[in-house]
Structure 1
Amino acid sequence: MATRTFPFSTLINKQTSVFPALEDAEVILERRDAENLVLMRSGRFEAMVKGLSLAARSLGIIAKANRTLAEEVFAEELPWLTWLPADARRECVTELLDQLLAGADTGLLLPFSRALREWQSTAEVYSDPELTRRLLGPFDTSEAADVERPGRADG
């Protein structure tokens, strides 16, 4: 997918330079104070959503029929899966497939993106044996102090 990038102010001040770029590219509008915006023609957007939906549903069908194959496909695209323990790898693949299918069906892909980022972070922790050992405990609580639960009413 071709993209062109413009400052957001260009859309406000010189629309005539932004809109022609949509003929053959998606436009990223960079904003200083907020997340960037993407402009695209509705036909390309609908094609992207339909393609994603078909791909997600197809992968879901494969996963139901052959979980091992689905794990192999994900491992090919997400090499960091190898750092997860086997049980966590299966849980990861299941969650990512479920999130992807739900996102393809609803158009809400942020939960999938969040789960993908969280699982990758988890895998990165497992890639460091010393960090994994420290996080799994046991923990030294000799200097720990009890803390009141926030919002708890006294008396």
Structure 2
Amino acid sequence: MKKTATLTEFLRTPKDVIAMVENGTVRITRRDAADLVMMRAGDLEFLEEGIGLASRIMRSALAAKGSMADGLKDTFAWVALFSAGERAQFAAEMDRLVWSAAELGAYQALLDEFRRWEGTAEAYAEGMPRGTGDDLTWLDESVNVERP
């Protein structure tokens, strides 16, 4: 938490203190009671999602006697759609990110990487062919397409 305001400041100039929340969490200090924390609901939901994912991943690795690859395969059924090499790469990425995310309380990189892998599994489930990507054509501009 980088910003702090007193309860008196909040009561006198609520708009100013609330504006501080746009830049992160704000601690509201009080003389005779525990401090309060003010943050955007979306930031709290994101934090809860990150903590939840990190907890699931760590529990899965511990339940698999420290094997991240086995734990992930047992916890997330869609991991079975990956090749052995992809499973190993996914496990290595999660192992690299989960411990630092939990220690630092910063979950953006973990969530982003997890979602990329989950998206790849969804694409495989929908029938996307596996390959090196050499058969893909990259567009310079985005194109709107209708859903099938």
The TM-score normalised by the length of structure 2 is 0.47
Query: Larger helix proportion, structure 1 or 2?
Result: 1
